[in-house]
A and B are shown apart, each in its own frame.
Chain A
Amino acid sequence: MKIRKTLCLVMAVATVCCMALASCGDENTAESKAEKTATNVSMDVVETADKLKDDIEYKDTLNELPESKIEKLFGLATTDYVKGKVYVGSGGATAEEIACFEAKDSDGAANIKAALENRIESQKKAFENYQPQEMDKLNDPVLVVKDKYVLMCVSDDNAKAQEIIG
């Protein structure tokens, strides 16, 4: 009788411990997920750039800009970003462009954002008398900073670009 009672007690305690552990684990996961969303945005800029290219319809044919040209076009050295991908058009046909960068931190992201704003301004100067119809895109580009990520998309479909960037 006594053995059974003890066994019952042990089992009850073990069950309570197990349940507590299991629920704690779940809470932790949920907690970390919430934290991730609030402060640490995680994004693969290469994938985002590819998605912006593949899921949006462009007039121009966009191709990846060699890394060696990023410095000249945006004034960004390879040390200014951790990862980046840029798609450009065929030169002067359209102003369509995609640029996605991951900076080291939010200060770095602010510098990259400034560089992309300069690029947009210089494109405006180039296109205003050359292809004035491109000014609509350039006057309303998608330029988003999310934590340490900077994402730019110059296209005719800002809604889709915003949806992809999230």
Chain B
Amino acid sequence: MKPMNKTALRLKKAKYQQLVISLSCMLLLVFSFGWMVRATVHTDKAIVKDDTSKVTQVEAKKDKVKKDSSNKIAESAKDNKGKDKKSDDESTDEDSSLVETDDDFGDAAFVGDSRTVGLEMNTDKPKASFYASIGLNVSTALTDNAVTLDNGNEGTVMQAMKQKKYKRIFVMFGINELGWPYPDVFVKEYEELVNQIKEAQPDAKIYVQSILPVSYLAANTNSVFTNENIDKFNEYVQKVAKDTKTEYLDVASAFKDENGALPVEASTDGIHFIREYCIEWMNYLAENT
């Protein structure tokens, strides 16, 4: 009985051992398979999640931009007098303010200082020519290689004016000359510039734009930046237009609030227009020329 029991026990033990090994192998097999599946699914999920978050971010940004623009336009529509009161529907007004004019200004050249640089950078008029530079004035416009010519080189405004024929030329100077002590010099130099442009472009209509107003923030840059000073200089600009037999364009009046100043939200420094106001400026030029 005893040896029989020993063999039976050994067999039983071997049987259990095999069973344990089999189960362990099966468990390992299931675990490995599961691990592979999990790794694959996890990677896919990460990619999908990344894409979804990008889409959400873009959507959120779009909404933010839309909201911000609407708010700014709503405020500007409220503050700006001299604007057309075409519709009572506020939303229609907001939308129309945002839209750039259809006029591509392909027949036009813009000459001026940093404000005209801002006009170029904040509107989309690739067919228009801009010959403007930061800090440019009626004197340096004739002497300095401050603008980019069509060949990519730097040149003077007059070199730029001789490159091709235009039908409309918009000139705006004056903000950098507000501190000049002798207005006669300003008038003389401005007239010289306009006459030279006329000579180079005999068939073009030249618009001498009034100096745009500033907000109270401008005084932080320099005490000469006041609307009283600008109004005084605009009288000289009017004289330049009259003397040179060109057209005076009173663009400034379209951007004055009830106090005769630029609305504060129109500019970050009180002088240079933000995009929405540049678009309005461009639209004004399209409507009035």
Q: A interface vs B, CB < 8 Å?
A: 4-5, 7-8, 11-12, 14-15, 18-19, 21-22, 25-26, 29, 47, 50, 54, 59-61, 63, 65-66, 68-69, 72-73, 75, 88-94, 126-127, 129-131
Contacts and interface: CB of A to CB of B under 8 A. Distances in A.
B133 interface: yes
Contacts of B135: 92, 126, 129-130
Contact of A61 (B32, B114, B115, B275): B275
Closest 7 pairs (CB-CB, A-B): A91-B118, A92-B114, A68-B126, A18-B32, A11-B25, A126-B134, A130-B135
B273 interface: yes
B32 A90 contact: no
Contacts of B118: 90-92
B274 A90 contact: yes
Contact of B115 (A4, A68, A91, A130): A91
Interface stretch (B33-41, B158-166, B247-255): B33-41
A93 B22 contact: no
B117 A92 contact: yes
Given A50-B61, A92-B113, 12 more contacts: A4-B18, A7-B22, A8-B18, A12-B21, A15-B29, A18-B29, A29-B39, A63-B274, A68-B124, A90-B118, A91-B114, A91-B122
B36 A65 contact: no
A124 B269 CA distance: 19
A89 B269 CA distance: 11
Nearest to A88: B121
B22 A4 contact: yes
Contacts of B113: 92
10 contacts: A4-B22, A18-B32, A29-B43, A63-B274, A69-B120, A73-B121, A91-B116, A92-B134, A93-B271, A127-B134
B256 interface: no
Contacts of B29: 11, 14-15, 18
A114 to B, nearest CB: 14
Given A61-B275, A91-B121, A93-B268, A11 B61 contact: no
B280 to A, nearest CB: 13
B8 interface: no
A152 to B, nearest CB: 16
A25 B28 contact: no
A93 B272 contact: yes
B99 to A, nearest CB: 15
B185 interface: no
A69 B272 contact: no
B26 interface: yes
A59 B268 contact: yes
Contacts of A19: 28, 32
A91 B28 contact: no
Contacts of A59: 268-269
A89 B124 CA distance: 15
B267 interface: yes
Contacts of B33: 18
B268 A69 contact: no
Interface string B75-111: 0000000000000000000000000000000000000
B213 to A, nearest CB: 15
A72 B118 CA distance: 14
Q: Select the residue from A7, A15, A54, A65 with max chain B CB neighbours within 10 A.
A: A15
Q: Select the residue from B28, B57, B278 with max chain A CB neighbours within 10 A.
A: B28
A26 B119 CA distance: 55
Nearest to B43: A29
Contacts of A54: 61
A66 B267 contact: no
Contacts of B25: 8, 11-12, 15
Contacts of A73: 121
